[in-house]
Amino acid sequence: MTSTYAQFVASSRASILHATFRYLDSLCTHNPEYVPLAAAAFSSFGTDLVVSTRTQLLSWAALERLRRFYWMHDDEEVDLPEAEDILSSKDSSEFFKSLCKLCYHVFLNDQLTVTGMAESDQRNRRRKAMLGFRQHGGVRLSRARMESLGLVRLKDRGLFSSEMGNFVDVHFARDSLLVCFLASVHVHTAEEDVSNFSKDKMVALLPFLCGLSSGEKSSKGQKVVNMIVDSLTGVPPPKDPGYYLRSLEKLWLESQQPFLDGVFEARMKDVFVYPQPGDKQIVLALKPLHLHEVIPLAYYLDHMNLRLLKLEGLMLQECSLTDESLRILGKNLFKVSKIQITGNYFTAKGIQDVVKHIRDRGGDRDNQVLVRSLDLSDSNIDDNALEKLLPLLPYLEELFLADNFFTWYGIRKMTQPQKKTRKLKKLDVSRCRLNEHSFHELIPLILRTEHVILEGNEITPLELKILGRQVSNCS
């Protein structure tokens, strides 16, 4: 039966990612450990599953492992139980709860191998084989169910490791990601104290804890998560995503990404907390941001409570962002007053996809353009991209375009007289290889700007003389 199941999973794996949206696609592409879990879950429960977060994906993966027991041990040709049936079964629910507790101890102590004692269930007429883990919370687990999980390898040994005896070594050598998720299920449902967890442990558990504690009840994707929590507790545990996000306040993190992932996993609809350390700006720099990392950022910006949060800055420096990244961020970029997206690679198409969201100010506050400073230095801005920035100019006070390459044609498009702009406080076109013609086209914009940075361009005395004459005429 095992080989049949493996063939069934393998035959479906190629089409798994096409049945999901871009978050899961990116997550599996850049984190290969998710691929077999996703493949098995979709193969077992069908490719029409709605999966929006990693918590939802791991919930289905955990149920798929529990379902294997029925696949391998049902002698009759019967339909496999659905998710609700698995969780409503007393034996399955008790086994799952104990398994999560064991995984919690394994995860917390960084153990790959734990030793259990072979026992029999005296309450069962068949005296089914059990494994007892007295040093790990007194957990007792069905041996047959453990073997069906595909999560551990069991090895019987004697007291002195010489002959067959009552002790069994349980090796957690595979699927550490699933072990982490199951540990988080125990932490949340058993209300374990997270204040003493190490930084690495907390960062690993946080997305799952936020997803498990989510207050979202209406979405189809979150239904499976709620079923798991309800089956183990009966009533929702008191800890909410805000509790787990606040635990980050005590940690010094290299990145704000765990916070953003937590908000996304929790499906928070009215975000009223700043990313740690709470300095009113988001900084993600010097590390590629894949789409499954850009999407939580866009989600946070989209669900910010603008009456309570005044996000002052967003820096995405050398994050390998592309046009697709800009499309995901969309109009949410304009909810921040200062935007620095430097050292990335954009085309006119990507700029257009973002700028097209600009609407007249007023009306719905969520549609207002709050950006006042825009930095697109070293981002492949050419003539076509420069032209697409035109709708933004009336809102900007500062525009930084250093280390790009555009010609007189793009500058002329940007400085057309009929395009009204407010008076810029600062314009930076350093190292843009401006020539004589380009500088001449730039003069109208220079005259409307308080501070212009031109270093690194070949500006001759003649161009400066022409500029001086233009200034005199305007005064």
Q: pLDDT at residue 13 above 50?
A: no
Average pLDDT on 376-381 reads 95
Residue 297's pLDDT is: 95
Residue 475 to residue 86: CA distance in whole angstroms: 81
> Which residues are registered as beta bridge partners of 129?
120
pLDDT by residue (tens digit) across 321-367?
Answer: 999 999 999 888 888 999 999 999 999 999 998 888 774 444 444 45
- Are 212 and 181 in contact, with CB atoms under 8 Å apart? no
Residue that wins the pLDDT comparison between 135 and 193: 193
Residue 428's pLDDT is: 95
pLDDT by residue (tens digit) across 430-466?
Answer: 999 888 888 888 888 888 888 999 898 877 776 666 6
Mean pLDDT (the chain, rounded): 84
Q: At what angle do helices 223-233 and 176-189 cross, to 10 degrees?
A: 60
| Token duo for residue 34 | 């998710």
Q: pLDDT at residue 161 above 60?
A: no
Q: pLDDT at residue 385 above 80?
A: yes
Residue 208's pLDDT is: 97
CB burial of residue 385 (10 Å; 0-12, 13-18, 19+) = buried
Q: pLDDT at residue 65 above 60?
A: yes
Residue that wins the pLDDT comparison between 264 and 46: 264
CA dihedral of residues 166, 167, 169, 170 (deg, nearest 10): 70
Q: pLDDT at residue 368 above 80?
A: no
Residue that wins the pLDDT comparison between 265 and 165: 265
Cα atoms in the 13 Å half-sphere on the side-chain side of 330: 12
Residue 56's pLDDT is: 95
Q: Where does the pLDDT of residue 12 fall: very low under 50, low under 70, confident under 90, or very high at 90 and above?
A: very low
pLDDT by residue (tens digit) across 283-310?
Answer: 999 999 999 999 999 999 999 988 888 8
pLDDT by residue (tens digit) across 74-124?
Answer: 555 557 788 888 888 888 999 999 999 999 999 998 888 898 888 876 555
Cα atoms in the 13 Å half-sphere on the side-chain side of 209: 30
Q: pLDDT at residue 178 above 50?
A: yes
Q: Distance from first CA to last CA of the chain, Å, rounded?
A: 88
- Are 214 and 265 in contact, with CB atoms under 8 Å apart? yes
Residue 420's pLDDT is: 56
Helices marked H in 303-401: 323-329, 348-355, 383-388
Residue 358's pLDDT is: 73
Q: pLDDT at residue 282 above 60?
A: yes
| Domains assigned to the chain | 2-177 (no CATH), 269-474 (3.80.10.10)
pLDDT by residue (tens digit) across 201-237?
Answer: 999 999 999 999 998 888 888 999 999 999 998 777 8
Residue 473's pLDDT is: 65
Residue 360's pLDDT is: 41
Q: pLDDT at residue 49 above 50?
A: yes
